[in-house]
Amino acid sequence: MDQQRLDSYQRGTSRDFNEHVLHKTILVGDSGVGKTSLLVQFDQGKFIPGSFSATVGIGFTIWDTAGQERFRSVTHAYYRDAQALLLLYDITNKSSFDNIRAWLTEIHEYAQRDVVIMLLGNKADVSNERVIRSEDGETLAREYGVPFMETSAKTGMNVELAFLAIAKELKYRALWHPDGPRFQIRDFVESQKKQPSCCSFS
């Protein structure tokens, strides 16, 4: 990916919401799993990033690593100052799921220890071509202690929820106080997945 394309996908709200630090969020996973499509869906879908960030109280810069999967030294550099990572696989592609462990190994080696990680099984709109069960994604996510959901960059299913959950976790950490309310990202994701539609910004 050239720098111009990368810059075009950086999303923040500094001019609208200056008091909030921008949090670097990176989309990673095998080539072809739908990273760019997921980002475009978020950018052009129901939630406009500026109003989203202003409402939640968190600004994002979102980095799409599509096209750089083969150049691991490049993606390693992206990990270092990332606050959140969306790790994608394609539910119709077994190798993309099998490689999740390798991606997580890299993340744990190169990213900050407290980086927020979310596992996404993308392309849920083509479930008739599914080779990875949702239960398999859930099991892997539990093993690594990360939240999980299936998404569709095509229909927008759970795309907003994924970014909202990340934003809420980052906001909770930024405002954490020992006497304040507790927030568990996995509990939030599971509760929202049971709702007919996502979600509240409260």
pLDDT digits over 101-158, tens only?
Answer: 999 999 999 999 999 999 999 999 999 999 999 999 999 999 999 999 999 988 999 9
Across the chain, mean pLDDT equals 77
User: pLDDT-based confidence at 188, cuts 50/70/90?
Assistant: confident
11 alpha carbon, distance to own chain's centre: 14
3-state SS of 15-80?
Answer: CCCCCCCEEEEEEEECCCCCHHHHHHHHHHCCCCHHHHHHHHCCEEEEEECCCCCCCHHHHHHHHC
Residue scoring higher pLDDT (172 or 90):
90
Task: Provide the whole-model pTM.
Answer: 0.76
CB atoms within 10 A of CB 98: 12
Helix 185-193 to helix 159-174 angle, to the nearest 10 degrees?
Answer: 150
Which domains occur in the chain, in start order? 3-193 (3.40.50.300)
Question: Using CA atoms, how far apart are residues 87 and 197, in angstroms rounded to an integer?
Answer: 23
Q: Which of 194, 119, 197, 200 minimizes the C-alpha distance to 156?
A: 197
